[in-house]
Amino acid sequence: MRKSSITSATPGPVRRRTVTVGTLAVAASLLLQGCSAGSGSAGGSGDNSGPVELTFLNQSRGQEAALNQLAEQYSKEKGIKITIDSPGPTDYLPKLQAKAQSKSMPDIYSSFNAADMAPFYKAGWAMNLEPELKGDWGKNFSPAVIKMSTFAEGNNLGVPAGIYTAHWETQTYGLLVDPAATGIDPAAPPKTSDDLISKLAAGNKNGQGTFAVAASLTPQLIQGFASNWLTDEEISATYDGKASWKSDGWRKAFQLLVDMKKAGVIANGSLTGGQNDNPTVESSFFSKHEVGAVFDASPGVSVGFKTAPDYNSFISLTLPPAANGKLAPRSPGLPGKGAVVNPKGKHPKEALEFVKWLTEPAQQKVFAEVGRIMPTNPALLANGTLSPQLAGFGTAVKDMQVLPNTFKTNVNTAIVRDAQGLVLGELTVDQVLDDLQRAQDKS
């Protein structure tokens, strides 16, 4: 664990790790039973006596340096001591669970994926920010980020309607590509998925494959592929159990993965698995240069900047259209790094003001420059100052998928498992779809 306050902000090495967290959500739900439900509000009760000190439990090491810098600046301006506690991505959720169980939750904590954070929201550990975001504060965010942050009435995670997170990062998915290693010309990127596969195959000089994707990211990869044939509404209906996983669009999406395997472009003929699968993929690209292209999220650029600061010859690209697609493909979109305000803390009003300040354009610019984090502010996204490495991810923002729901945990787990079986030749596409439908039906 690394804990740093504004009086001694000396960040260590930054790295991002992807973990399998489905079981943590279940455990969190059990731990949080008995806590009072409800979302809280900006006027929540708190202890306003004595000096104000705030604690921020931070999940992301990619933003740690910028967050420490901004906390120190805010402390000097406002006289409020802010402690940034960064246990690291693997330990973040277990620590947050423990704090919820002991009722010692931090004043502010990092938002994470919706399925794993839902138990905390339902237990009343998150302030409903929707009333505040309807005012001038909401202008700091693109409409898509506001929409993606909103839990609609009757959502499939059972969270009370509202908005519980404020984000200074927009997250999209796509390809990180080394032009020299793959022969892909940045000025003339692949026009179709077939073109991409052909170029990756031509650049496969060692016969071991030149493309890698972490098993844990295959749900997002397949979702991106599926958008060639399915509308956002149809994808959302599948996640809600109102449409079948055995539809033609999902079948063709998984077939694209099979096509990549048959062409020999997937490194070592398998998906990278294990608890640290995505860091392993990123290391193979940024540091070891074992592969020439990877599927990743936009925060991967921040990882590359921190782990291999001298390597800047790579670019980012959106997934190209499928040759037989009916629709323009769209990246899955997420509101990325951001914060949740604890309405039961000692100083909820001051915590909210700090989070509001963090999302102002000047502070979002610091996150973008120090951490290579793609902002949520519309003006910053539109002013053309994104680095070449982020630019491809940035082009996906304007038409990214904006869904009111997401995969259920057991469906996500099934995709990760079955995609690996598909690549290894252990399963057929139809068998994968049958398994996903069974997982959906059990949700």
Task: Identify the band that residue 110 occupies on the pLDDT scale cut at 50, 70 and 90.
Answer: very high
- Tokens linked to 36: 């009072």
Q: What is the DSSP string of 2-26?
A: EEEETTS-------------HHHHH
Report how far residue 370's alpha carbon sits from residue 260's, in angstroms, rounded to the nearest whole number: 36
CB 260 within 8 A of CB 197: yes
Contact 142, 378 (CB under 8 A): yes
What average pLDDT does the chain have?
Answer: 88
Q: At residue 287, does pLDDT exceed 80?
A: yes
Residue 44 makes CB contacts below 8 A (sequence gap 6+) with: 127, 343, 344, 348, 349
Query: What is the C-alpha R_g of the chain?
Result: 21
What are φ and ψ of residue 2, in 5° steps? -125, 125
Q: Is the pLDDT of residue 39 over 70?
A: no
Percent of all residues in the chain with a pLDDT value above 70, rounded to a whole number = 89
CATH topology agreement for domains 2-169+336-376 and 173-332+405-442: yes
The closest alpha carbon to 73, from 365, 306, 340, belongs to: 365
199 vs 29, higher pLDDT: 199
Lowest-confidence range among 30-34, 45-49, 165-169, 183-187? 30-34
pLDDT recorded at residue 1: 43
Model pLDDT, residue 185? 95
101-117: average pLDDT = 93
Q: Which fold has domain 173-332+405-442?
A: D-Maltodextrin-Binding Protein; domain 2 (3.40.190)
Check whether 19 has a pLDDT greater than 90.
Answer: no
Higher pLDDT, 277 or 23: 277
Domain residue spans of the chain: 2-169+336-376, 173-332+405-442
Helix (H) or strand (E) holding 151: strand 150-151
CATH of domain 2-169+336-376: 3.40.190.10
**Between 44 and 158, the higher pLDDT residue:** 158
Residue pointed to by tokens 């990549």? 260
How does pLDDT run across 250-268, given as a tens digit for each residue?
Answer: 999 999 999 999 999 999 9
Task: Please name the residues in contact with 220: beta carbons below 8 A apart, sequence gap of 6 or more.
Answer: 173, 295, 297, 332
Q: Is the pTM of this model over 0.85?
A: no
144-180 residue pLDDT tens: 899 989 998 988 789 999 999 999 999 999 999 999 9
Region 73-84: mean pLDDT is 97
- At residue 405, the pLDDT reads 82
Residue 221 has pLDDT above 90, yes or no: yes
Amino acid at 187: A
pLDDT for res 10: 25
pLDDT at 27 over 80: no
Statement: residue 282 has pLDDT above 90: yes
Q: What does the block give as tokens for 249? A: 């669009």
C-alpha 135/C-alpha 116 separation (Å) is 28
Q: Would strands 170-177 and 293-297 be described as parallel, antiparallel, or unpaired?
A: antiparallel
Q: What span, in angstroms and rounded, lies between the C-alpha atoms of 288 and 286?
A: 6
Instruction: Evaluate the CA torsion angle 394, 287, 185, 325 in order and state its sign.
Output: negative
Q: How many CB atoms lie within 10 A of CB 130?
A: 18
Confidence category of residue 385, pLDDT binned at 50, 70, 90 = confident
Percent of the chain with pLDDT over 90: 72
**DSSP label of 54:** E
pLDDT for residue 219: 97
User: Do 100 and 113 touch, CB atoms closer than 8 A?
Assistant: no
pLDDT digits (tens, 9 = 90+) for 232-245: 999 999 999 999 99
Model confidence at 383, pLDDT cuts 50, 70, 90, reads confident
pLDDT of residue 36: 46
pLDDT band at 48 (very low <50, low <70, confident <90, very high): low
